[in-house]
A and B are shown apart, each in its own frame.
Chain A
Amino acid sequence: MMLNNVVLKTLRDKRRAMIGWLLVMTGMSLIYALYWPYIRDNPFMAQMMVSYLQSFPSGLIEAFIGSNLMLFTTHPEAFLDSELFFLFVPLAFILFTASFGSDAIAGEEDRGTLNLLLSNPVSRSRVVLEKFIALVVYTVLLGALLETELVVASVATNTSIDLFRLTDVTLSVILLSLVFGSMALALGCIGLGPSMSTGVAVSLGVVSYFVNSLATTFRDLQPYRKYSPFFYYIQADPLMNGLNIGDATVLLVLTVVTLSIALLAFRRRDVSV
């Protein structure tokens, strides 16, 4: 069953890696489960923390926590925004999709198995598309796992959290990470090795993060903010305000464009031994 096609074979290959990523998601949920009740139930400590954070330059706070500083001790959504969804969750998702995307073609080519795979009556485009579908399936699954764990953590800590908003931000992070996943896939299709494809995609993800987060403080960065996929991920604050369809569409279009580049590039080039 798991060997019927390239999608299922790819899902099968990544089963073990998914256990590791599940642990990463669990770690993030634990930060929330342990840290949030402490902040909520100790207003004095929370106020001390806010005051302490306010002593830092605002640029630094904007860069790593976001703009929900005043709310994060009183609203669980704002806490999740600042502590998880602003930096750690998207970064973890980008690491996951970029390494998955680069392994799809570049990894298989690097290990030398691509030749045998392509000697079968499967087109190069089909291989790329099926590997991409596997990437989408596992990214959605990872998002679902994270959301489930966060819901469980909320129930366990007697916290009321908007499930729809949580789904909105999870969808948004999935869309953001798929941009960088398809980018890593495309880099592999162009001919970069697996490490290089992952490295370039993750680096672009980090640059994109800083361009967006620092732009509120450094005016020189403002014009470039709209070129950052992170801008479309977080600027509407989906956890507080719901998913912005326009922003989600931009992320979706970016993924489709990079995937198209991957398909075109791989169709034309030589496959190495």
Chain B
Amino acid sequence: MVDSVVTTEGLTKFYGKHRGIVDLNVEVERGEVFGYLGPNGAGKTTTIRLLLDFIRPTRGQAKIFGKDVNQSSLDIRRRVGYVPGELAMYDNMTGKDFLTYFAHLRNGVDWKYVDELTERLDCSLSQPIRSLSHGNKQKIALIQAFMNKPDLLILDEPTLGLDPFMQREFYHMIEEAKAEGRTVFLSSHVLPEVERICDRVGILREGKLVAVEGVRDLKSRELRHLEIHFARSVPKEAFVGVSGVRDVAMENGIMHCTVVGSLDAVVKAASAFPVENIITHEPSLEEIFMSFYGQGDKA
């Protein structure tokens, strides 16, 4: 039997006539990093707010650690760390005061671990929060979510505003949490991020969960726009029919194409010619959805 940490059954939320999420059935297993992917407005934040009992479902049910999120909200929140998508903090406090306040509300934390996180994220806790950049506020929000080593981390767009170095540190923190058997539910609208750190991905579109995929499966069907600059003119035909390659166009020694899945075949085909540069463009989420699920899945 699967040990589920998060389970939703027909979870639906409407804000008046506006759709939040519709009939969401999702299961997150203990110890996994579950990515919750979807464009802005797809319903990611609504799902997270339902899980934390900030809002109540129109119908359906959500459970965390096997307990109803409304009936056992307090028990659940004792074991959950959360980073909100729209970050608002107590601007008149310093980072240290903010963490002290939340540490008291959680009956204390291991301050050595807080110091360690602060150092790893290169975060200043002595300044008033109002004077910090969004990235630095985000670091404090991450520290408060991780500081009491919760069994479940619910993170809504957690890398928003973090520079690449800090993103990498954050990925390490996620890996450590996973290694300790803790569970992560992470929303994002950035596919490469989800691919990098998640085990499985739930793809949300216009309030509906259109697929739950293993990251490996997702990668095998991933779509990329590729641009290869050659030192001289190359016949377009050299790439037509190469595995995964489509929409080939050649202009002044620059080839544009779309590749589905691995880049291996196209790189090998290109190696027959003098290559000056290879540029990949990440597709938009909408393109990914169109590629994966076609127009017919659009709600």
Contact = CB atoms under 8 A, between A and B. Distances in A.
B88 A3 contact: no
B59 interface: no
A16 B41 CA distance: 40
B101 A116 contact: no
Interface residues of A, number: 22
A10 to B, nearest CB: 11
A121 B295 CA distance: 43
Contacts of B77: 119-121
A27 interface: no
Contacts of A122: 74, 105
Nearest to B45: A273
B106 A120 contact: yes
Interface in B88-128: 88-90, 92, 97, 100-102, 104-106
Given A120-B105, A270-B54, A3 B82 contact: no
B97 A112 contact: no
B74 A123 contact: yes
Contacts of B84: 115-116, 119
A13 interface: yes
B236 interface: no
Contacts of B78: 121
B105 A113 contact: no
Contacts of B141: 116
B102 A120 contact: yes
B69 interface: no
B55 A270 contact: yes
B97 A3 contact: yes
B96 to A, nearest CB: 10
A118 B90 contact: no
Nearest to A271: B54
22 contacts: A3-B100, A6-B105, A111-B88, A112-B86, A112-B88, A113-B88, A113-B90, A115-B49, A115-B54, A115-B84, A116-B141, A117-B105, A118-B52, A119-B80, A119-B82, A120-B77, A121-B74, A121-B75, A121-B105, A123-B74, A271-B49, A271-B55
Interface of B: 45, 49, 52-56, 73-75, 77-78, 80, 82, 84, 86, 88-90, 92, 97, 100-102, 104-106, 141, 144
Interface of A: 3-6, 9, 13, 111-113, 115-123, 268, 270-271, 273
4 closest cross-chain pairs (CB), A and B = A112-B88, A270-B55, A120-B105, A119-B82
